[in-house]
């Protein structure tokens, strides 16, 4: 469980570095739910998300997750008698941890399939929370705007404003005066810059 | 990046989700397609051990002597006490000691 939490936090941290928002990271953890594969995908996140790039990433994900093929197969003797309308949704929550716990539970004479489902649900929650925790603890330490592109951040990137330079200044500002003042200064200084850059077709300086 | 390419991000999500879910459900589904004879039954029984061994093996190879000590300590504790928490504690403690001793 601590190991799981550490991995979740690592994912959250990498997500910040890659410019994901908290919601993006949590959504990715919640739908992909691929554990280590998520980390690897994130580290090799393609520059441009074309269809071949996405297909390649999916293939890599499947390859890394292929251990689940064997793990799933070993669940068949136990869960094979369950109705498939129940078992296939539950398999979404299959991880090494609840599989291992279920195997132990079975070896000790247990047979209630709810054990597998309950363990999976707990692990799912831990994964989500640890992703958010990793994101948060890195985000607090990192430059505010660069790594948390809200509406202003997205606008700046599209407009080609040097977000990194602003972020360095803003981060000092944020540390010194707190969030309320900081947001005010973003609105006063960065947002007009975005607007100006867009109007005059400014170059993309931040890449 | 999501900030510059939200459409791509939301294309990536279902691709990943389906790829992973296919492996999760696929093994279970595939093995249900075949009739489970005596040999297959024995194979399935041996699978958990094999999966765990294949998880530990790369760690042993990459971790060097520290990992060997830690896994040996965990295995010895498991055999002696039949308690997985004690085994994990023993493994972590030995790994910490070995690292601390500069191995």
According to the per-residue pLDDT averaged within each range, which of A20-29, A124-133, B53-62 is highest?
A124-133
Residue B91 has pLDDT above 60, yes or no: yes
Residues from chain A that touch B55, judged by Cβ atoms under 8 A, are: 67, 96
CB contact under 8 A, B23 and A68: yes
Interface test with A, best of B8, B11, B23 (most A CBs within 10 A): B23
- Residue A18: pLDDT band by 50, 70, 90 thresholds? confident
CB contact under 8 A, A54 and B12: yes
CB contact under 8 A, B36 and A77: yes
- Residue A116: pLDDT band by 50, 70, 90 thresholds? very high
B84 close contact with A: CB closer than 8 A: yes
A71 close contact with B: CB closer than 8 A: yes
Residue B103 has pLDDT above 50, yes or no: yes
Give the separation between CA B89 and CA A200, rounded to whole angstroms: 63
Mean predicted confidence (pLDDT) in B66-84 = 89
CB contact under 8 A, B26 and A104: no
Mean predicted confidence (pLDDT) in A85-102 = 90
| Predicted ipTM of the assembly | 0.70
**Angle between helix A151-159 and helix A191-199 axes, rounded to 10 deg:** 30
Mean predicted confidence (pLDDT) in A8-29 = 84
CB contact under 8 A, A69 and B51: no
The C-alpha of A177 sits at a distance from chain B's nearest C-alpha, in angstroms, of 27
Give the separation between CA A26 and CA A20, rounded to whole angstroms: 10
Residue A175 has pLDDT above 80, yes or no: no
- Of all residues in chain B, the one with the smallest CA distance to A146 is B3
Residue A126 has pLDDT above 50, yes or no: yes
DSSP-derived secondary structure for A29-71: HHHT--THHHHHHHHT--SS--HHHHHHHHHHHHHHTTHHHHH
């Amino acid at each position: 469980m601590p190991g799981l939490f550490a991995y979740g936090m690592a994912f959250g941290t990498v997500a910040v570095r890659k410019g994901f928002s908290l919601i993006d990271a949590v959504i990715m953890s919640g739908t992909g739910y691929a554990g280590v594969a998520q980390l690897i995908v994130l580290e090799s996140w393609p520059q441009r998300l074309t269809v071949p790039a996405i297909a390649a990433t999916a293939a890599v994900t499947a390859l890394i997750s292929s251990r689940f093929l064997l793990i799933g197969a070993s669940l068949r003797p136990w869960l094979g008698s369950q109705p498939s309308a129940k078992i296939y949704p539950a398999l979404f929550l299959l991880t090494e941890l609840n599989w291992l716990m279920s195997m132990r539970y079975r070896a000790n004479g247990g047979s209630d399939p709810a054990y597998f489902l309950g363990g999976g649900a707990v692990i799912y929650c831990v994964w989500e929370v640890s992703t958010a925790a990793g994101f948060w603890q890195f985000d607090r330490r990192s430059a505010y705007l660069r790594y948390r592109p809200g509406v202003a951040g997205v606008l700046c990137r599209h407009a080609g404003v040097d977000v990194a330079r602003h972020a360095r200044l803003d981060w000092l500002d944020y540390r010194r005066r707190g969030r309320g003042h900081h947001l005010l200064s973003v609105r006063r200084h960065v947002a007009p810059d975005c607007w100006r850059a867009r109007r005059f077709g400014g170059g993309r300086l931040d890449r | 990046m999501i900030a510059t390419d939200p459409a791509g991000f939301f294309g990536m999500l279902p691709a990943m989700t389906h790829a992973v879910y296919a492996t999760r459900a696929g093994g279970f589904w595939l093995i249900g397609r075949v009739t489970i004879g005596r040999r297959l039954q024995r194979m399935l029984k041996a699978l958990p051990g094999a999966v765990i061994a294949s998880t530990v093996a790369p760690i042993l190879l990459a971790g060097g002597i520290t990992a060997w000590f830690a896994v040996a300590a965990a295995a010895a504790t498991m055999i002696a006490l039949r308690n997985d928490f004690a085994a994990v504690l023993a493994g972590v403690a030995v790994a910490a000691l070995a690292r601390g001793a500069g191995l």
